[in-house]
Amino acid sequence: MAQAQCPLPPLLLVLAAVVLLVPRAAGYPWQVCGKTGNFTANSTYQANLALLAVALPKNISSSPDLFATAVVGAVPEQVSALSLCRGDANATTCSACLVTAFQDVQNMCSFDRSAAIYYDPCILYYSDDGGFLSSGDNVASASTDRINLRNVTSDPARFNRLVGALVNATADYAAYNSTRRYAAGEADFDQEYPKVKVYSWAQCTPDLTPAQCRVCLAGIIAEMPRLFTDRVGGRVLGIRCSYRYEVYSFLNSPVMVQLALGSPTPAMGPTSVTPAAAGGGRKYSVPVSVLVILLPTIAGLLVINLLIWLCLWRRRPQTGGTQSNPTHSTETEGMESIESMIIDISTLRAATRDFDESNKLGEGGFGAVYKGTLPDGNEIAVKRLSRQSAQGIGELKNELALVAKLQHKNLVSLVGVCLEQQERLLVYEFVPNRSLDQILFDTEKREQLDWTMRCSIIHGIARGLQYLHEDSQLKVVHRDLKASNILLDMNMNPKISDFGLARLFRRDQTQGVTNHVVGTYGYMAPEYVMRGNYSVKSDVYSFGVMVLEIVTGKKHNVCRDDDAWRSRDEDDLLSLVWDHWTAGVVPEAIVDPCLGRSCFCRSDVLRCIQIGLLCVQEDPADRPVMSSVVMMLGSDTVSLWNPSNPAFYGRNRAPATSS
């Protein structure tokens, strides 16, 4: 008898619908080439443009608003430029993005006297007509719009009204409530399931007045009905103002605008522009009494539905004689193995003494981690996801399915999971020496790490990555590899942890593209930061940064934190190591002094630095795969090729110009 099919619970239907709405690749960068003429190679105009390429990234990194303009040369060879970074970017990312922008736009718009280029973190526009610097004009000819081709499938009219209200409210806040002319917003898509949200962003250049900013935004928002009706995402990017909305979070900053449940939603399009009084502006909030009632209820529904979903996965009938999808099969097996690992809440409360503060090991963006002891005496680490955690059902399912399936001595082991009493708990093996960053970057504890131990840690991380990329049943890209996600056991053996952002690849898949760049700046590869492209080579880049941190004992943004190194031009570890490498004063000048002078002349120290530099090459094709890295680390007979400039290197230096 055929097994009866159980329908998905209503909440899961909504969540599934949202997953289907996630857009395809962003396709960054987007360039708009000018039509005002061309310049010739080695001309004065090109030389002035080269000077701008040096000055502007330096100016914008020192600007509190991450906004800069510059003019170089005299008419008719004068070049004017404007650059702005998104409100959630930091100075290092902003400057690096602008360096890449100058390089890319001159390749894509070769010899054009005016051009614009857009990335997620930054925009750049230059022209031989500098009138745009003072006019407040949005330079419409250089604007670009992008439409998410997926349609809203449920109540599109209400969705359009919601988007119109949210975008206009966000534009109001950016114009009238922010000196940076930047705002992020969110609204609940469905009153019954408020976890399903729409997110928005609006920003103007900060030199515009509030009224100029709002008028600029109103002009491009007016195109919403024509461009984005029934679309789950869209954006218009301009030189002076831009906006965007999506059905997923795409910013790394707090939300300034929240539309209340049941608030009125006007039709999609601009509202009337009425400048608010200084310090005024609209405020959108959900009453506290409503939140007190709704949040526990919603959390309970999520837990119940997830448990039902797990059961449904296990009971799915298997059809013989058909070719199964390997990814689908892997996820199913992963969920079945998770169900067998469920631990009841009473056991974990007893193990952690009801999550006592004295047992807290640390706290991150997704929640706190507690030490505990099970009745059999085994020590555990319990990751308690907060109810306000950014890690939702998707990330939780992702981490569970991946970690349960992966088994390697250099990966942290999942012991169990608990989804009771509105709790979301992941139970891992306890790793007594905590994370690498807590020892490596501590002025006293770092002395515990002699060179032999640091070599062992580097080798262990490399072997764990090789397993993820090449040797396991799955092909996994971690996407958040950093020193704080490397745990050290009793014998200081490294274990890669935190798979909440990891992605599963097919065996024949070489890369993925996302519109939602997440991770830690400094460890993320340039192609991922700028274009959303990620692959195993993205993890190789992160590994290379960690190798150089382990050898030097310095963080990747060392020169911002260490007065002894601040006099140098560089503001990152990669540039500093590269300068010493090319000057031939490696390793003594940069090796961690805690290692002692005996390490300064060791060939394996120099070899590790060279491997680290090879892993952080700007072009992913120039980086080795992890199996090659493991061979390089394990044998002196494997020859190494010479590295070139690392990614983001030289952003404070003038390019060579022909005389």
Binding residues: 383
For residue 495, list its beta bridge partners. Answer: 487
Say how far apart CA 593 and CA 583 lie, in whole Å. Answer: 19
* Residue 22 neighbours by CB distance under 10 Å: 17
Pairs from 441-450 (Cβ < 8 Å, separation ≥ 24): 441/483, 441/553, 441/554, 441/555, 446/553, 446/592, 446/594, 447/594, 449/492, 449/550, 449/594, 450/595
Residue-level length of the chain: 659
- The token duo for 110 is 């070769």
Residue 351 has φ and ψ, to the nearest 5°, of -65, -35
Show the 3-state SS of 357-414: HHHEEEEECCEEEEEEECCCCCEEEEEEECCCCCCCHHHHHHHHHHHHHCCCCCECCE
Diameter of the chain measured on Cα atoms: 85
CA distance 85 to 93: 9
What phi, psi does 496 have (nearest 5°)? -75, 135
Residue 13 is encoded by which pair of tokens? 């239907």
Q: Is 656 helix (H, G, I), strand (E, B) or coil?
A: coil
Write the CB contacts of 263 (distance below 8 Å, at least 6 apart in sequence): 165, 284
Distance CA 513, CA 261 (A): 33
User: Which residue(s) pair with 503 in the sheet?
Assistant: 477
State the burial class of residue 516 (Cβ atoms within 10 Å of its Cβ: 0-12, 13-18, 19+).
middle
Mark 40-74 as b/e (b = at least 16 C-beta within 10 Å).
eeeeebbbbbbbbbbebbbbbbebebbbbbbebbe
Binding-site residue numbers for ATP are 383
> Is 104 an active-site residue?
no
Distances (CA, A) of 371 to 377, 436, 445: 12, 18, 21
CA dist., res. 171 & res. 216, Å (int)? 10
Beta strands in 65-134 (DSSP E): 67-72, 79-85, 115-118, 122-127
Three-state secondary-structure class, residue 564: helix
- Check: CB of residue 256 under 8 Å from CB of residue 185: yes
Residue 504 in contact with residue 402, Cβ under 8 Å? yes
Q: Of the residues 190, 480, 539, 579, which is catalytic?
A: 480
Q: What is the amino acid identity at position 406?
A: L
Residue 460 in tokens: 């262990």
Residue 323 CB contacts under 8 Å (≥ 6 apart), including other chains: none
Active-site positions read 480
